[in-house]
């Protein structure tokens, strides 16, 4: 597995200017997607998933929602959105 597009993370940083401790926590969770895209506390968003092509998942990590897509053929995981929960 590999991380692909992580632009949504950088957009979140620019848009919300979160505290450093929160940035490190979310960044570490995102980095672990390379090893396990299905990691807790993520859940599948079945309405956005295309079986056999890609799976879209979402997780709330320390109050930050991370939505991402894992491409099955390539194993690449791209971030779709990163935002403070409830924002």
pLDDT, tens only, 36-77:
888 889 999 999 999 999 999 999 999 999 999 999 989 899
Q: What angle do CA 16, 29, 68 make, to 5 degrees?
A: 75
- What pTM did the predictor assign? 0.92
Would residue 16 be called left, alpha or beta, if left means φ above 0 and alpha means ψ between -120 and 50 degrees? alpha
Domains of the chain: 2-84 (3.30.2310.20)
- Which run of H or of E encompasses 78? strand 76-84
pLDDT, tens only, 2-34:
899 999 999 999 999 999 999 999 999 999 999
Q: Which residues contact 13 (CB under 8 A, 6 or more apart)?
A: 23
């Amino acid at each position: 597995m590999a991380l692909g597009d992580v632009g949504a993370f950088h957009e979140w940083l620019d848009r919300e200017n979160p505290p450093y401790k929160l940035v490190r926590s979310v960044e570490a969770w995102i980095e672990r997607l390379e090893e396990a895209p299905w990691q807790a506390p993520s859940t599948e968003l079945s309405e956005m998933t295309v079986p056999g092509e890609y799976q879209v998942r979402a997780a709330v990590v320390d109050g930050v929602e991370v939505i991402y897509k894992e491409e099955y053929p390539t194993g690449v995981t791209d971030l779709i959105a990163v935002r403070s929960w409830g924002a």
